Amino acid sequence: MPAPPPTRRTAHVDLQGKPAAWGVAEETAIEIGFNGEPWTVMMATPADVEDLAIGLAFTEGAISSAADVADVSVKVWPEGITADLAVDTRKLASAALRRRALEGVTGCGLCGVETLAQAMRHPAGGAVETVDITDAAIARAFAALPAHQPLNAATRTVHAAAWCAPDGTILTAREDVGRHNALDKLIGGLLRAGGPQEPGFIVVSSRCSFELVYKAAAIGASLLASVSAPTGLALDLARAAGLALACQGPGGAVARFATEGADA
């Protein structure tokens, strides 16, 4: 059975008194497992499923790199999609597998400060250097992001996450109905390509929530830039990780948040 398309078309839209076609983003149940055993189920856009599976496994600490995964078997069923990762059991973190199985019933689960340090693993190939990112680079990434959101252009529904060079050039991006799924897909894509090998930062189309900070820290980003401002917990976790945060401010200005020391 072929994978469902990420969007469908509908004519039941009225724009200024005229019927118009509109893209509707699909949301599909995707079961991720290891060696034939289910691990968790995500509601996600049915695209870049391999990236989602590897990215989530990495950011949850179940694997330490994409090299741990010998194969990803993706199958489509009437009920949804399964993605099974073939991983040597000696390379699987059993504690992470148990945690996700327990917390998945209530959402992404709270990964507190104590586990954040464990999450900051560098991808295979060497440590990613942290560099200072200028306001101009952040503004360039924000301005360029819509051009990397074809699904959102058709649906006005989905989020995006992009990896950017230090000067703000977007190098790769992923989209999904879930903001954390989009970031996991981006991270999985980066890991499958053997990177990131060079410094860079992440820009996302959503608010900055704690799980996005957790995931950006895991991949070694120099900064996380979000369209909307961070939550208080996101600030706390960013301080623990040493991760710089920024968002779009009034009038398109870049707003930076203190992630060192106490709030002013």
Task: Show which residues are catalytic.
Answer: 108
Contact (Cβ atoms closer than 8 angstroms) between residue 68 and residue 88: yes
Alpha carbons 66 and 29: distance in angstroms, whole number: 23
How many CB atoms sit inside 10 A of residue 90's CB? Answer: 6
Q: What does the block give as tokens for 116?
A: 């954040």
Rounded to 5°, the CA angle 128-227-205 comes to: 75
Contact (Cβ atoms closer than 8 angstroms) between residue 227 and residue 169: no
Three-class DSSP category at 41 = strand
83 closest CA partner among 163, 224, 206, 185: 185
